Structure 1
Amino acid sequence: MKTRRRPYTEQRPQDLGGGVWSVPVPIPGNPLGYTLVYAVESPQGPVLVDAGWNHPEAWEALSGGLATLGMDVASVRGVVVTHFHPDHAGLAGQVREASGAWIAMHEDDAALVRLMIGYAGDAQDTFRSDMLRRAGADPDEAREASGGRAAPPAQPDRELRDGDLVDLPGRRLRAVHTPGHTPGHICLHLEDADRLFTGDHVLPGITPHVGIYPYDRDDVDPLGDFLRSLDRVAGFGPLDALPAHEWTFPNVAARAAEIRDHHEDKLQRLRALLAERPEPLTIWEVAAMMTWNRPWDELSPMLRGMAAGEAAAHLRTLEVQGHVRRHAGVEPVRFQALDS
């Protein structure tokens, strides 16, 4: 079952056996390359797990890939979205238009989609610019990092909760709430085949982005949620994993443990960095000190904004654990180590 990641140009739709197929759908201009959209067979038409990015090339790949596998996009019964991000939910609306399919996602991400749809573009830019400024970015950086937003995905017809069965006649596909990457991220356990669709929660070669937005929120702990969700997925044991990116792989529990260890190590290194600096630091300053896949000076404004979101999530978890304290009532917000 295991296949290694290849460039999108070398990807092909695949029959994974047991009434499950995968269709690689490109993400133009994105280093991830593609989203793996899965089709699960049912007597009343296939149900898709995710749909891919809203782009003409992506639509051609999705509809053409399904046709290669003997399925017409017009026969799709439903699209269950692992989370609201555009490389997963972007084409769900077009699938619905072509087939009359329902769209389902977790209720927490559905609430975010409603918020996005009701938020004007200029208001979004102002919100992001203010958020970056409160994190410690200078005004120019804040403006540069606040653009480039994708259009909101289609609003879902159905909302799922943890443990709900997806409307998939003749099969048992159960939602497993795994917050962290987004508040409403779900994995999907295909119980009749004992496989797990992992979305972006557990990927074989990379770790998903876990950030906090706005950066200075003190009422949520996305990284803490993510670590607990990894423990929950590890409890499924050595199931085959069908992720949304890269390649399918065995033993989801082992990979979940590796990702958990990665973040625990990152938290420890961040604690050490903060302990070396007696003065309180802004989120932006902390992000610039952390290790990324490229040096901070080489990151684009958009990637710096994402790095700041991830730095904020790690700081928040350290705050919850009692290792750092927040200097409230100041702008930009600052954090300081409480122990060595």
Structure 2
Amino acid sequence: MTQRTAGRTGEDAAAPATIDHGGGVWSIEVPIPDNPLGHTLVHLLDTDRGPVLIDTGWDDPASWDALTAGLASLHVRIEDIHGVLVTHHHPDHHGLSGQVREASGAWIAMHAADAEVVRRTRGAEPGVWLDYLTAKLASAGAPPDHLAPLRAARDSGRMRTLPGLHAALPDREITPGDLLPLAGRALRAIWTPGHTPGHVCLHLEETHPANLPGRGRLFSGDHLLPGISPHIGLYEDPEDATVTDPLGDYLSSLERVARLDAAEVLPAHQHAFTNPRERVTELLAHHEARLTGLRALLATPLTPWQLAERMEWNRPWDRIPHGSRNIAVSEAEAHLRRLVKLGHAEPVPGSDPVAYTAR
């Protein structure tokens, strides 16, 4: 593999932090504007046909500058990029993919389910998403003062400034279970829905460069993080009334990843870590405890909004910003879906907005 250096040294002192993970794998910190996560870890994978990126970062000039500066510190030009593998469609992962393709001619690959989300979002008429979100939140029991800004944004036409509306359409599909056609590398796609319907992890089925025990390395995207439980909300599609179970999908995906027995996990946030089985066990226990706690709350009938108000978050409900409350309600609904599917909760007949109670 190509020899590269990593870090902030010499003339590259202004470049973002890069880490050499060994065996032709590096990571670059690409900032996310105004987000407590701070940055996305974009991974660079050398292949016999040229470097490939795993995710690209948020579509923002500062993020682009960080990505290109990080590549330059590794002696890679953006024009050298051969391909982009996208773990999922969220803008902090897929945002810069189109700009990378424009600059390099690289292909972009994504799972079909997330590619459909990108296609649907790009093709949406102005206001469709805000109409859908407003109606959905109203049915979840959101109060009028929360809905008012959404209706004002719809009326003003600001909807076209939301992220994801101009995301690049992929030109290749990541097929679960397949070895990806990367010259000189053994990288297998693992479908891990939950955080998004088409989230994929990528299993590098090669001996760990430090000979750590286990089977290769796992690029885990947002599916498996060392200190964060990723957001699990509803899969949103204004035209699809299918009752999905994202939390159930996520829990099953966690168990699938544990069976891989990877020696090391390279996530898209925080830092690399070992012993993924232990982390999977922690996350399964976390969600089991949360479902048990929510079932206790539902001794009194609650709407999804009321349930979200009572759930434990990283700050009190009255300090959660407007947009983050929408995400919290979606997560409450995903947990309700799981409880209903397990037979532990049910809707209260005749309630409007619909309230749920424990069984």
TM-score by length of 1: 0.92
Partners of 1:145 and 1:230 lie apart in 2 by 35
Select the residue among 140, 144, 152 that pairs with 2:145.
140
Encode CA deviations 1:106-162: one digit per residue, 9 max, x unaligned: 111011111101112312111111111111102320243686731332110011221
**Larger mean Cα displacement after TM superposition, 10-19 or 288-297:** 10-19
> Aligned to 1:37, what secondary structure does the other structure show?
strand
> Does residue 1:308 correspond to 2:329, yes or no?
yes
Select the residue among 143, 149, 164 that pairs with 1:151.
164
Select the residue among 199, 222, 229 that pairs with 1:207.
229
Select the residue among 245, 256, 272 that pairs with 2:280.
256
**Larger mean Cα displacement after TM superposition, 120-129 or 298-307:** 120-129
Q: 1:232-251, aligned counterparts within 5 Å?
A: 232-251=256-275
1:161 corresponds to? 175
Identify if the C-alpha distance between structure 1 residues 176 and 15 changes in structure 2 by more than 3 Å, giving closer, same or farther: same
Encode CA deviations 1:308-334: one digit per residue, 9 max, x unaligned: 011001110000000001246754222
> Does residue 1:230 correspond to 2:254, yes or no?
yes
> Aligned to 2:176, what secondary structure does the other structure show?
coil
> Aligned to 1:233, what secondary structure does the other structure show?
helix
1:25 corresponds to? 30
Partners of 2:227 and 2:322 lie apart in 1 by 25
> Aligned to 1:36, what secondary structure does the other structure show?
strand
Q: Does the aligned pair in 1 maintain the 2:196–2:235 contact within 8 Å?
A: no
> Does residue 1:91 correspond to 2:96, yes or no?
yes
1:5 corresponds to? none
1:297 corresponds to? 318
Select the residue among 275, 287, 290 that pairs with 2:308.
287
Select the residue among 175, 180, 192 that pairs with 2:194.
180
Partners of 1:11 and 1:96 lie apart in 2 by 21
RMSD: 1.9
Q: Does the aligned pair in 2 maintain the 1:53–1:87 contact within 8 Å?
A: yes
> Does residue 1:49 correspond to 2:54, yes or no?
yes
Partners of 1:125 and 1:215 lie apart in 2 by 12
Q: Does the aligned pair in 1 maintain the 2:348–2:355 contact within 8 Å?
A: yes
Partners of 1:244 and 1:71 lie apart in 2 by 20
Identify if the C-alpha distance between structure 1 residues 175 and 214 changes in structure 2 by more than 3 Å, giving closer, same or farther: closer
> Aligned to 1:121, what secondary structure does the other structure show?
coil
1:3 corresponds to? none
1:122 corresponds to? 127
Partners of 1:119 and 1:331 lie apart in 2 by 29
Q: Does the aligned pair in 2 maintain the 1:82–1:105 contact within 8 Å?
A: yes
Partners of 2:270 and 2:324 lie apart in 1 by 21
Identify if the C-alpha distance between structure 1 residues 166 and 137 changes in structure 2 by more than 3 Å, giving closer, same or farther: same
Identify if the C-alpha distance between structure 1 residues 66 and 262 changes in structure 2 by more than 3 Å, giving closer, same or farther: same
Q: Does the aligned pair in 2 maintain the 1:176–1:186 contact within 8 Å?
A: yes
Q: Does the aligned pair in 2 maintain the 1:135–1:215 contact within 8 Å?
A: no
Identify if the C-alpha distance between structure 1 residues 143 and 213 changes in structure 2 by more than 3 Å, giving closer, same or farther: farther
Partners of 1:219 and 1:247 lie apart in 2 by 35
> Does residue 1:77 correspond to 2:77, yes or no?
no
User: 1:215, CA displacement in angstroms?
Assistant: 10
Identify if the C-alpha distance between structure 1 residues 188 and 143 changes in structure 2 by more than 3 Å, giving closer, same or farther: farther
Question: Structure 1: where are the runs of 5+ without partners?
Answer: 1-8
% of aligned pairs identical? 51
TM-score by length of 2: 0.87
Counterpart of 1:163, as a letter, is G
Identify if the C-alpha distance between structure 1 residues 326 and 10 changes in structure 2 by more than 3 Å, giving closer, same or farther: farther
Higher relative contact order (CA 8 A, sep 6+): 1
> Aligned to 1:316, what secondary structure does the other structure show?
helix
> Aligned to 1:258, what secondary structure does the other structure show?
helix
Question: Structure 2: where are the runs of 5+ without partners?
Answer: 1-13, 154-160, 208-215
**Larger mean Cα displacement after TM superposition, 223-232 or 255-264:** 255-264
Q: Does the aligned pair in 2 maintain the 1:239–1:253 contact within 8 Å?
A: no
